[in-house]
Structure 1
Amino acid sequence: MNKLLTLSLMLFLSAASAFSQKQSVESLLQTNDENLQHRLDRLEKMVDDLMWHERLGDVAYVDKVYMYGPPKWKEKNPTALGAGNPVKFWSYLFFPKNLDTNKKYPLMVLPHGGVHADFTTYYTHIVRELVNQGYVVVAAEYRGSTGYGKGHYEKIDYGGLEIEDVFASKNYMLDNYHFLDKNRVGIMGWSHGGLITLFNIFEHPTDYAVAYAGVPVSDLVARMGYYDDEYRALYEADYHIGQSAHNNVEEYRRRSPAWNTHKFKNTPLLIHTNTNDNDVHVLEVEHLIKSLKADNKQFDYEIYQAVPGGHSFDRMDTKTAKEIRVKIYKHMNRYLKPENPINNLQDIQKAGYKF
């Protein structure tokens, strides 16, 4: 009997050891895969940085500068060396090639979208259209952006201090370039960038003359309901929120524009959404619109009916997308007054091109 127990125990320990080794190998492979992905993101970022000059060099001066925002909201070790220091990040700057430093220019703040993403040449034609009109553009690679390694990636604070990073990029521009008009600053963004846009005007209502939010992420509570586990895991990671919406619904409400519309003052605001959006479901933006109305806020909006392109419907290079962007620019230009405003489709078709 004792021999049988001994043999059983040996078999159990052997199986447990094999299981533990398997887990260690799987963990090691996962870590290696994550590290490789960050390296690939860095490589992709370096290539894309070159592409900016290739694609915009004829109409714009392109620069990339290093700046900082608030300290991390969540320190793994609050007593460690460097804990509590400001978060450093890069921002892209675009200046019209014919810029005259004796004049004053409007500034456009352009936060990128994506949970973990970055500002890429995906926005080439939008930046060309802005620069051609006479805008200076700043696009922050706020905390959590990809292409800068695991450390920056894991500083993500979705709907949190990333908002202040973007605000810091605006302040940096006004502090460093005397030819910018502090009274003509606009902010525009799509998707996650739309959320950042909304929170910037909620938290800093006197700092922006006008705003546009396209297909903005508006309700993280609802979003956790209609997305899958892989997406939810991005928010539940230890370095991020660290809890599910089920376990801490208030934290997700705090990060959702639709639950914070009482903070909105009187910044001229235009909101667009699309009923066939395959990323930000129209129900999120409908909630935002209803909340703004319930709080008796003044704003403009349009719910587009199944325009081809879904989530990207007005950022594409199609005729329809350009026609919609004319509406966006007219809204922004009414308050920012660039030198060469886009007023129609013909203007937008030739913006920045040599014909």
Structure 2
Amino acid sequence: MNNKNHSKLLGCLTIVFAFVIASIMFSLVQQFIPINNITLFIICYLITLRFLHYFTSKKVSKSQNLWLVTLLCLAIGSRFFSNKNFLPNNRSDADLIATKYIYHDNDSTEVFSHKRKWKDYIGKTYRGEFNIRTKDYYSSKEFHQNLNLPKSKSWKDLYKKITLEDKPKLDLILKEFYYLHKGHQLNQRQFAEMVVSFVQDIPYALVFQKECLDASAYKDEIKETLEECPDCCIGNQKYGIQTPVEFLSNLKGDCDTRTMLVFTILKHFGYDVAILNSDFYLHSVIGISIPANGTYKSHFGKKYYLWETTNKYYKIGEMPKHLNNTSHWYVVLTNNS
């Protein structure tokens, strides 16, 4: 083999080898560097080429670099443009849901997926990919639509039926929280804060039993919410709620939609939790019985500290002043009831 052919072969092998190493590097750092995936991959690739050139003294031509980078942009970019986003464009990228396929239980499974990045109360950053199987979403939605409770039944019966039905369908979500728990080595308090701050970070949306109308049809806070975000409303939802699975499939949830989700997650991880409602405030919050300070509601000798889930940065036991009169709150459901 003459020197010219040998040089071409070595150049091609260098490109292939650089691609493999760059792929590995990209998979390791993509969760920790908050930049565009295409840009990050190209950076990994160029760093790898530089590294290989240093040890082999073999330089890849500019035309070869340009050719491969162009193909990489087209290949990686096509993956993102092929995703079917179904949330409004005026929501942030973190709130976009895409349908895709993941490999799970030795099979390819279609999921509603969204990547989230959020911070807890001391500024610690968490990242994760949260998936709901599309078949589980439609199953939960059907259950919700067909759910009929006698008028004599209470919110307790409604929440209990929904959370028990949805718990098995949240297995991929629970697994992601488990990995975050282990990866960050969180204690009991820190893990609860991580879960609640995750829910608080999702923008608030109104959930109506009837269809959503224009903002001008409402008053006060509802009107203000819809004026700021016309798409922050989902209507025709039975009982005026969404199930936890529905919520994590479209990221539209109000107070009790959120408390049901937090209740289901923390109950799974062994916490003593409760859902508290107020007919006076027309609001719902999560209650948790762990060592803490602040506003709490006593229930059968236990202190359930109230935790607001519809606004960011409210810590355990911290309640807005216009909602902190505990005489207006009552325990609806606990993990033992």
Sort the TM-score into its range (normalised by shorter chain).
under 0.3
Structure with more contact order per residue of length (Cα contacts < 8 Å, sep ≥ 6):
1
The TM-score, its normalising length taken from structure 1, stands at 0.26
The TM-score, its normalising length taken from structure 2, stands at 0.27
Looking at CA atoms only, which structure, 1 or 2, has the larger radius of gyration? 2
